[in-house]
Amino acid sequence: MNKILIALVLIFGFSGNAYSVMIDVRTDEEWNAGHIEGAIHIPLSEIKTDIENYEISKDEEILLYCRSGNRSGRAKVILDELGYTNATNIGGIASVSEQYNLKIKAETYPEIWELLGESKDGVKVYIDLNSYARHNNIRYIITMHDTSTQEKDFKSVKFLNQIDCNKFRMRSVRIFGYSGLMGDGEEIELTEKSDNIWMYRIEDSPNATIIDAICMVDKEVRDLNKILKP
């Protein structure tokens, strides 16, 4: 499972549960084999640098678990040092599942790609309809850019985007480049190469195409409204 897809679990984990945020700090392999339904995945090795990408307030309740409670205890220390005031180590995955009456499930994620349009410089922009989600006033969507006409190192690039419709701006918190089209071929994570800064809507650019599509959802302007989750 790609980390960009795993990151989406964050969005759906905020609602419908008795807690605010539950974080699994185990490895990718452990997560894919089975995790608490509704949890988000930030490995212990990445939590110090990645936690700020997820729009979690410093006083929000955060429940941490791992296999036995050891790594989640270390994760709590890290979050405490970062200023998070309500983080709790709740132990190992088996006991958490029993204590909170939550299912353990393996990760599956079907992608539904829709062509949004093409920018003036020839970049085709696709959107994963199955990835749209919202938390507070921020919207999240996975997009894929076909850059095969741009003589770039990668033929396609996948983004996990945060979009602020109040200010018509967006930023990408996860980026992956592929040697083939639409995620096929060799994958290389490019997240660290990005400045991860907000970029305001630029006319006739891929970001304008994406922002227009996502921020018009509530206005029922596009046919995408029939598919995107409100």
For position 173, which CATH number holds? Answer: 2.40.128.710
Tell whether 158 and 56 lie within a shared domain: no
Tell whether 117 and 221 lie within a shared domain: yes
**What per-residue confidence (pLDDT) applies to 220?**
44
| CATH at residue 74 | 3.40.250.10
Tell whether 221 and 117 lie within a shared domain: yes
Q: Is 66 designated active site? A: yes
CB 45 within 8 A of CB 6: no
Tell whether 27 and 130 lie within a shared domain: no
Tell whether 29 and 88 lie within a shared domain: yes
Range of the domain at 124: 113-226
Taking the model in full, what pTM does it have?
A: 0.55
Between CA 109 and CA 132 the distance in angstroms is 13
Question: Residue 79 above 80 pLDDT?
Answer: yes
Least confident interval from 16-20, 31-35, 52-56, 131-135:
16-20
CA-wise closest residue to 26 among 79, 64, 80: 64
State which of 105, 132, 147 marks the end of a domain: 105
Domain tally for the chain?
2
pLDDT > 90 in the chain, percent: 32
Tell whether 81 and 130 lie within a shared domain: no
Between CA 156 and CA 154 the distance in angstroms is 5
Residue tagged active-site, from 11, 25, 36, 66: 66
Tell whether 201 and 219 lie within a shared domain: yes
Question: Residue 168 above 80 pLDDT?
Answer: yes
